[in-house]
Structure 1
Amino acid sequence: MDMSDNSSPATQGGAGQPREKFASRIGFILISAGCAIGLGNVWRFPYVTGEYGGAAFVLLYLVFLAILGLPILVMEFAVGRASQKSCARSFDILEPKGTKWHWYKWFAFAGNYILMMFYTTVAGWMVAYAFKTAAGELNGVAPDATGEVFAAMQADPLQMFLWMLLICVIGFGICGMGLQKGVERITSVMMACLFVAIVILAVNSVLLPGSGEGLRFYLMPDFGKMIENGFGDAVYAAMGQAFFTLSIGASGMAIFGSYIDRDRRLTGEAVSVAGLSTMISLLAGLIIFPACFAFGVNPDSGPNLVFVTLPSVFNQMWLGQLWGALFFVFMSFAALSTVIGVFENIIAFTMDQWNVSRRRAVAINAVGIIVLSIPCILGFNLWSGFQVPGIGDIQSLEDFIVSNNILPLGGLFYVIFCTSRYGWGWKNFINEADAGKGMKFASWSYVWIKYCIPVLMVVIFVMGYLPKFQIWLGLA
């Protein structure tokens, strides 16, 4: 067993310049969960679940959360807390002298940027639909015409740019206020509102007449449906969804580890964060699938499920305008919580890497994100002819790069770094993870984490690419 100890001052709790801290433990949990809870839970999870047959996919997703997501989440928290830095400097501090683990930071930084290049656009759709629904713009629209409303918005690059710009202004504005006064205070309020809204919506959906078939689709596993849609694709999608849901693999959670003290063990904190994130995903399914089946709507309509399928469902509901507006406000809060979390990671990286003030880091990255988000917008209209075989348009390509490549490969990097004698080492990781009170990390899991997880991830990664290679080579 590798129990090497690549010692450094940071290994014993961090050293260096004073760092901002969360005001409370609940603030850390809510903000970390807020970063994890986002469109991955309430937009991506339901439509991927619908595409791969419902409950069987949910079960597979939960397995990956437990055996892959949770250990890597603890590792991200541990690297952040031990170094007291973002990934811009964390690996420089923790790596053995003369090694090059710190090169990973550019991979992670790119991942955060590419994520925001399409995430801000989709988040803008949520805010747009909250306004459209509340204003009654979708009232009385025929079911087959809801797609035309969405298509009209996508065809208008100026409208989409303005909604994306609003998301960036809100997100960077909150981050510019600082960790406690901005990020922690506002995200905590948004999370509280989100939980209330999603519970109300889920209860309303489950109680709809005819919702039973949707509950069976969502809660009773049928692996035959999954196999029909491609078991390898489903496994690949479930792994990617587990990483996307928890925002792990691109140091999206490590930054929050750098903001907390060593009075609590990290496994318990990771379980709390993962539990809240998973609960939101499952509740989102309870909103969508019973409602779809209650009104005879197809649940496997892909990324357009939320914007095309659900508005027609709300139109048929009693008080549908109210439920629809509440749903998209909830979606907007979920999206903004992740935007704020990832923006904070990007800002902290800039501050640590180039030693600039928070205000300057906000200004630089706000311009960068806004400009680089434009291709995603244009991909739905002026550049709609750009299509990658087996993947899709610009937004689909950016999502594929992040969800199916950067996040799982980044997660694999954390596993190797925290278990290898040539990296930080298992002993240092366990010491950091188990500092404080609470749930201890399962030290018996060393063999599983060091050897089995990398093999499993590589196998799944290859499985996911095989169908695409067949398409690219003209074999499918």
Structure 2
Amino acid sequence: MDQQREKFSSRLGFILISAGCAIGLGNVWKFPYITGQYGGAAFVLIYILFLLILGIPIMVTELSVGRASQKSVAMSMDVLEPKGTKWHLFKYFAMAGNYVLMMFYTTVAGWMLYYFIKMSAGGFVGLDKDGIAEIFGSLLQNPTLMVGFMIAVVLIGFGICSQGLQQGVEKITKVMMLLLLLLMVILACRSLFLKGGEEGLRFYLTPDFSALKEFGIVDVLFAALGQAFFTLSIGMGAIAIFGSYIDRSRSLTGEAIFITILDTMVALMAGLIIFPACFAYGINPDAGPSLIFITLPNVFNAMPGGRLWGSLFFLFMCFAAMSTVIAVFQNIISFGTDLTKASRKKVVSINLVAIILLSLPCVLGFNILSGIQPLGEGSSILDFEDFIVSNNILPLGSVVYVLFCSMKIGWGWDNFMAEANSGKGLKFPKSIRFYIQWILPLIVLFVFIMGYKSLFFS
């Protein structure tokens, strides 16, 4: 065991940073537009159900593997697996997931940074709907500008990580997360009191299950499952790394519930900000990925003090995006240090260049490489990379963690329970072993297979 492994300075640091990894563009960019596309409140209920029955147990398994091994996913199963087994091969799949996530996440985080600067500088003032749509369109058509902002995100992220766990990652992320939560409350209060926003609240909070038939129940389940995994970042070791930085004073079930509640609260608050505002100003909430970049600037333009509210909103989006970038970069750095024993500085230098190069296809997919449409007409390289992570690596990786922790040929149920339940706090129930080992993986695999069926045969 690595005796020199750095630890979080406080439990608050661990919870905020783990939540920061989970809280990101999945909550504030993807969740609102998917909710809009799949009919509102009924989708939200299915998403919350998946978080409860799948998300929390899987997070406990991932945190347990991290804490028991004191390693990143690059070495955790090597440490814990029974001799002669091949669980450690999962590391390549999981590490690939972290890199693929950052291949598109850095681009979208760059958009947030660009929009924050543009909104603060008054770049949207006086523009009509077409003018605002033109700004987003011209950004996508400008590879130089997008590459510049993507590089800025990578430099900021690795710059913070290079300062170490406590002095860099924990110190900065704590402040960002507390500011993010404060900004959310302010923006949600503002949105709730908009005249005409009641219809948006009804759409968001009153379930209409007939809407599920309209979209196809399997498609809705697939979207909700993918969103639950994406929003919690479970299944690729991005959460396990934070388990390796904490002591055994607290049991892990309570910590997983805390992280999930914070994550869900941010996603739900994002909806409270966006849907009343959309309905108050007659904007369609099912605008898809462009909801944040075209729809909301229109809303802010029509709102008294819109430049201020818009700037605060995109600042909040920057914090949400960067909290995940920093968390995943920390995980990527730990792969290098765990596998090679190289210095943090050297690993940061190599990965900084690697992530910039790997992020280029996503940026160029909107302009120079726009002819490449991997998931059919109208799709982009970003859609393909998102699909690989959200609908493949995260759910399948989650099944691996669950089986590793529950099967005799893996780490085993007794070892997992001892680790998960060591310390004060809520204990993981022994009685749900059958559910964890058999039913939970089957639910994930069933929805995973049906999702593929609907994607290619609908």
TM-score, normalization by structure 2: 0.99
Moved more, 436-445 or 223-232: 223-232
Residue number in structure 2 paired with 1:329: 315
- What amino acid is the match of 2:143? P
Say which SS state the counterpart of residue 5 (structure 2) adopts: coil
Say which SS state the counterpart of residue 366 (structure 2) adopts: coil
1:404 aligns with 2:391: yes
Distance 2:455 2:67 in 1: 39
Shift of 1:462: 1.1
Residue number in structure 2 paired with 1:43: 29
Residue number in structure 2 paired with 1:33: 19
Residue number in structure 2 paired with 1:361: 347
Which of 73, 92, 102 does residue 106 from structure 1 map onto? Answer: 92
Distance 2:159 2:375 in 1: 38
The count of residues paired between Structure 1 and Structure 2 equals 457
Say which SS state the counterpart of residue 210 (structure 1) adopts: coil
1:341 aligns with 2:318: no
What's the CA shift string for 1:164-217, capped at 9, x where partnerless? 011000000000000000000000000011011010000100100001000000
What's the CA shift string for 1:303-335, capped at 9, x where partnerless? 000001000000000100000000000000000
Which of 408, 418, 424 does residue 405 from structure 2 map onto? Answer: 418
Mapped contact 2:163–2:169 kept (Cα < 8 A)? yes
Alpha-carbon RMSD across the aligned residues, in angstroms, is 0.8
Report 1:79-158 matches (<5 A).
79-158=65-144
- What amino acid is the match of 1:398? E
Distance 1:74 1:200 in 2: 32
Report 1:257-336 matches (<5 A).
257-336=243-322
Distance 1:240 1:429 in 2: 26
Deviant stretches of 4+, over 3 Å: none
Shift of 1:145: 2.4
Distance 2:2 2:197 in 1: 57
Mapped contact 1:390–1:468 kept (Cα < 8 A)? no
Mapped contact 1:172–1:366 kept (Cα < 8 A)? yes
Runs of 5+ consecutive residues of structure 1 not aligned to the other structure:
1-14, 471-475
Distance 1:388 1:185 in 2: 40
Residue number in structure 2 paired with 1:463: 450
Say which SS state the counterpart of residue 96 (structure 1) adopts: coil
Which of 408, 413, 419 does residue 432 from structure 1 map onto? Answer: 419
Distance 1:364 1:398 in 2: 22
1:159 aligns with 2:109: no
Which of 201, 215, 230 does residue 229 from structure 1 map onto? Answer: 215
Shift of 1:144: 2.8
- What amino acid is the match of 1:160? M
1:19 aligns with 2:1: no
Shift of 1:390: 4.4
Say which SS state the counterpart of residue 294 (structure 2) adopts: helix
- What amino acid is the match of 1:18? Q
Distance 1:458 1:268 in 2: 27
Shift of 1:140: 1.1
Which of 427, 442, 449 does residue 436 from structure 2 map onto? Answer: 449
1:352 aligns with 2:342: no
Shift of 1:455: 1.1
What's the CA shift string for 1:91-117, capped at 9, x where partnerless? 001000011100000100000000000
- What amino acid is the match of 1:140? G
TM-score, normalization by structure 1: 0.95
Distance 2:235 2:112 in 1: 25
Mapped contact 2:281–2:302 kept (Cα < 8 A)? yes
Say which SS state the counterpart of residue 156 (structure 2) adopts: helix
What's the CA shift string for 1:269-314, capped at 9, x where partnerless? 1111111011000000000000000000000010000001000000
Say which SS state the counterpart of residue 283 (structure 2) adopts: coil
Residue number in structure 2 paired with 1:210: 196
1:245 aligns with 2:208: no
Distance 2:316 2:437 in 1: 39
1:381 aligns with 2:367: yes
Shift of 1:388: 2.1
Distance 1:299 1:365 in 2: 38
Residue number in structure 1 paired with 2:178: 192
Shift of 1:469: 2.2
Shift of 1:143: 1.6
What's the CA shift string for 1:65-123, capped at 9, x where partnerless? 00000001011100000000101111001000011100000100000000000000000
Residue number in structure 1 paired with 2:51: 65
Distance 2:2 2:151 in 1: 36
Mapped contact 2:183–2:313 kept (Cα < 8 A)? yes
Mapped contact 2:39–2:211 kept (Cα < 8 A)? yes
Residue number in structure 2 paired with 1:4: none
Mapped contact 1:211–1:291 kept (Cα < 8 A)? yes
- What amino acid is the match of 2:405? C
- What amino acid is the match of 2:178? A
Distance 1:394 1:227 in 2: 30
Say which SS state the counterpart of residue 35 (structure 1) adopts: helix
Mapped contact 1:295–1:313 kept (Cα < 8 A)? yes
Distance 2:316 2:269 in 1: 12
Distance 1:140 1:303 in 2: 24
Quick one: percent identity of the two aligned structures? 60
Distance 1:21 1:39 in 2: 27
Say which SS state the counterpart of residue 171 (structure 2) adopts: helix
Shift of 1:55: 0.4
Say which SS state the counterpart of residue 307 (structure 1) adopts: coil
